[in-house]
Structure 1
């Protein structure tokens, strides 16, 4: 609590010093106060960077929500409203002088299809200024299909995809590769996969930052369908639906299994595990419980099941460090009569 008070006090001091600085710099020798319509001359960041350093008081044409800025000009003393992209933004009258307003850009300020204008309304008129509001850093919730190939159109889902730039992420041995954007909205981007994309992660960038996919291309065991299964099934011979479209963690479908008490099943594959360090899976149940899981009949790993989707990465050293995947085994182990469990995004995590 003491540290919080110190930080808050420091931030307030920086804001007030900024205000005093620009007030003193802007006042001329004239005793007459400015009485004309307001004028916005510049907008500058105020406060601290993430590393604790002071932000430079330099003019900008791009502001980030949830950050403080100094609106510099003249004629602000009677300010009644401030709008960023027509969004009515709260400000403290104690942070206003005739030449400066210190204001926090609201996190709900619109950034897409907006006016790109700052407006200050006073009793003597309104001032306008060309200014963009940055979107938040994008979020990347998934892409489908994960096992895509050259020329496939893939849909990326997430948020804040304003004018997105998509790439195959840089690796230790390969450079970043641009990916063609076919179409985009704020929450979906459709791209065309280039050549040599296997085992590469996708990135989506906007002017604020970059998001990277959790999954690498070509690493799915289940992504709306089960890949590479050679044999197998549930021990009870029923209860499995690979095409369940009522809920999913990623993509459009999930693997639904209506487990009887202690029921399970084995599924056969032939996968080289050399490139991987972990097995990934997302799980959700009709009720809380657990499922036993193993690779190639090796060590048992208990997967917790809750009524919300939970994404898990299981290190291969907890599953016997197999060099080849030949079999996966699931067994319901609630000890309370069974459960209905959804599985999704089964696959592998690259080293």
Structure 2
């Protein structure tokens, strides 16, 4: 779904002139017969310009996108007083109304779920009703949990605009999309059951307006509500680490809270083959602004900026020494101002 350019008053007037000419050629007799009668809606058509600058064809539709212009075409519309999409009172310019046509912008706040699926035009001579569906925005995908799910696990997807969703393992260059069973869904949450052979596949959610794909692929987490695959390690000070902090999270339900003293840090041992990956990922948030030094296998530091809001970062392996495997991760608070409390979440890997 693509929004059209915001059009100028001159462009709108040009549409009106073209519509008036269209109407005068095709509806003179009908208008004469309808004079003084109740309003009738015959069709709804896109109006305005495509992104490439071409004018949209006046082709009847039964599905409209918010934030786009449309022509309501019919009879007896000149005395229009109100226009409702799904019972939402929608502003229109009286100067953009003729007896046969109304040019109108569908408001972005128009409801799309549990709605009447009707367009209503109220005139001085009555009300016209037309069956019409308002499309939801394209879905947004804020995350899913648990990322390291296996066949048969139930996973919760969070985001927005999940109206009548279809969930799949996203199509790749070598693999087709695979339907996934939905256990339950609402507009902002879907619970699905993970199928076989889902490792290293992204999840996709589709509604009638488009598709959103997860940033994370299944099975690529080092931390997602818990730390995976740690073989040894801990903070140098022997304290300050909480893997089950449930006061805030970037995705899922929990985050890794680390109460750092000044220049405190820690090492954590793993054994991960990096052949499938091109980068590491991490989400970070602090009590105050600062930074954390991060390194792989004792190599050079990569400075992770810390702010008081969640920031998601993908770190190319080239910036971490191009490790063939991850055997040790090191974190060190480096504010040089006495320490910081830092939350880490969604630590893992990005596929090639």
Aligned mates of 2:21, 2:344 — CA distance in 1: 59
Indicate whether 1:198 and 2:199 are aligned.
yes
1:172 deviation in Å?
1.3
Structure 2 CA distance, aligned partners of 1:21 and 1:349? 57
Between 6-15 and 248-257, report the one with greater CA deviation.
6-15
Report the CA distance between 1:6 and its aligned residue: 11
The residue that corresponds to 2:20 in the other structure is 20
1:20 positional shift: 2.2
Output aligned runs, 1:322-337, within 5 Å: 322-337=323-338
Give SS of 1:48's match: coil
| Superposition map of 1:18-57 within 5 A | 18-29=18-29, 34-57=35-58
What is the distance in 1 between the residues matched to 2:145 and 2:260?
Answer: 27
Cα deviation for residue 311 of structure 1 reads 0.2
Write the distance in 2 (CA, Å) between the matches of 1:10 and 1:202.
45
Task: Give the deviation of 1:21 after TM superposition.
Answer: 3.7
Counterpart-to-counterpart distance in 1, 2:80 and 2:9: 26
Query: 1:101 maps to what in 2?
Result: 102
Report how far residue 14 of structure 1 moved. Answer: 4.8
SS at match of 1:242: strand
Q: Give the whole-Å Cα distance in 2 for the aligned partners of 1:77 and 1:14.
A: 18
Distance of aligned partners of 1:17 and 1:219 in 2 relative to their CA distance in 1, 3 Å threshold: farther
Q: Which residue of 2 aligns with 1:253?
A: 254
Q: CA deviation at 1:32?
A: 6.7
**SS of 1:318's equivalent?**
helix
> Would you say 1:317 and 2:315 are equivalent positions?
no
Tell me what 2:135 maps to.
134
Shift in Å, 1:11? 3.7
Cα deviation for residue 27 of structure 1 reads 3.2
Report the alpha carbon displacement of residue 24 of structure 1 after superposing the two structures with TM.
2.0
Q: How much has 1:52 moved relative to structure 2?
A: 2.2
Q: TM-score, normalised by structure 1?
A: 0.96
1:19 Cα shift? 2.7
1:303 corresponds to 2:295: no
Query: What do residues 239-296 of structure 1 show as CA deviations (whole Å, max 9, x unaligned)?
Result: 0000000000000000000000000000000000000000000000000000000010
2:61 corresponds to which residue?
Answer: 60
Q: Note the C-alpha offset of 1:299.
A: 1.6
Maintained 8 Å contact 2:34/2:75:
no
Residues 207-286 of structure 1: matches in 2 within 5 Å?
207-286=208-287
Distance change >3 Å, CA 242–CA 89, structure 1 → 2: same
TM-score of the pair, normalised by structure 2 = 0.96
The separation in 1 between residues aligned to 2:189 and 2:244, in whole angstroms, is 23
Q: Indicate how the Cα distance of structure 1 residues 271 and 93 shifts in structure 2: closer, same or farther if over 3 A, else same.
A: same
Contact 1:38 1:127 in 2 (8 A): yes
Following superposition, which runs of at least 4 residues in structure 1 exceed 6 angstroms of deviation? none
CA RMSD of aligned residues (A): 1.5
Cα gap change, 1:285 to 1:103, in 2 (>3 Å): same
Please state whether the residue corresponding to 2:109 is helix, strand or coil: coil
